[in-house]
Amino acid sequence: MTDTIDRPTVGSMSTISAHFLTPHAAADLQPVAPAPVSASRLNQLRAGVLGANDGIVSVAAIVVGVAGASATRASVLTAGVAGLVAGALSMAAGEYVSVSSQRDAERAGLATPDDELTNPWHAAVASLASFLVGGVIPLLVALAAWGAGVVPAVFAAVVVALVVTGAVSARIGNAPVRRAVVRNVVGGSLAMAITYGVGALVGLAL
């Protein structure tokens, strides 16, 4: 009489392997979701990008506006530095007030934990620093001895900088990059062109 040994069939082996191996395999193949960005961190990034963009456009517009009214290099640089400092302080103060109001609304709603509340000081510092960094770009370009070519030089540098800030802001907000860049460049270019025209008219009148 031959002893028979019960051996698991192929079907049972498949069931066993599916039971023990599939969860591990599925876990290994499961894509890892990126960690969510906190509201405070996102607000800080937004303030930084907007501050840099405002610094670039504001200081560049002042520089080309004064250049349109006066060919004196000293007056252009003086106006640029004054605009840089005043704009940075104004941006920081405005960002602090805005984010403080947002924080008060979040607290009143009782839906946001304290550690996730937006921080007005962080937003204000980010806005101040980024405005200074952005505004220094057209100011440094204006410092060079361009002569009559200072306006085209500033304009070209600002367009490049606006392309960068537009792309970064689109990445942060998960928006189309091309649209954000075009919007940024067109808006900044119009601001500089209009300011230059107003400066040239004032220069003629004076």
Which is nearest to 97 in space by CA: 131, 113, 121?
Answer: 121
Phi/psi zone of residue 109: left (φ > 0), alpha (ψ -120 to 50 degrees), beta? alpha
In a domain, 46, yes or no: yes
pTM for this entry: 0.72
Selection from 61, 69, 20, 46 nearest residue 124 by Cα: 46
Between CA 103 and CA 121 the distance in angstroms is 11
Look at residue 95 and tell me if it is in a domain: yes
Nearest to 150 by CA among 199, 89, 206, 96: 199
Say how far apart CA 175 and CA 153 lie, in whole Å: 30
- Reported as a pLDDT band with limits 50, 70 and 90, residue 41 is low
Q: How far apart are CA 95 and CA 100, in angstroms?
A: 8
Residue 27 pLDDT more than 60? no
- Is 18 contained in some domain? no
Residue 177: give the domain boundaries. 39-205
> What average pLDDT is seen over the chain?
78
pLDDT at site 26: 46
Instruction: Confirm whether 16 is domain-assigned.
Output: no
Q: Give dist(CA 62, CA 124) in Å, integer.
A: 23
In the chain, how many domains are there? 1
Q: 117-141 b/e with 16+ CB inside 10 Å = b?
A: bbbbebbbbbbbbbbbbbbbbbbeb
Is 203 in contact with 69 (CB distance < 8 Å)?
A: yes
Indicate if the pLDDT at residue 202 is higher than 50.
yes
Supply 119's token pair: 């921080």
Give the Cα separation of 91 and 85 in Å (integer).
10
Residue 74 lies in a domain: yes
Please provide the size of the chain in residues: 206
Q: Would 47 be classed as within a structural domain?
A: yes
Q: Is residue 15 part of a domain?
A: no
Reported as a single tens digit per residue, the pLDDT across 107-165 is 777 666 666 677 888 888 888 999 999 999 999 998 887 777 888 999 999 999 999 98
Decide: helix, strand or coil at residue 93: helix
Express each pLDDT in 152-169 by its tens digit: 999 999 999 999 988 988
Helices 39-69, 73-109: inter-axial angle, 10-degree rounding: 160
Whether 103 is in a domain gets the answer: yes
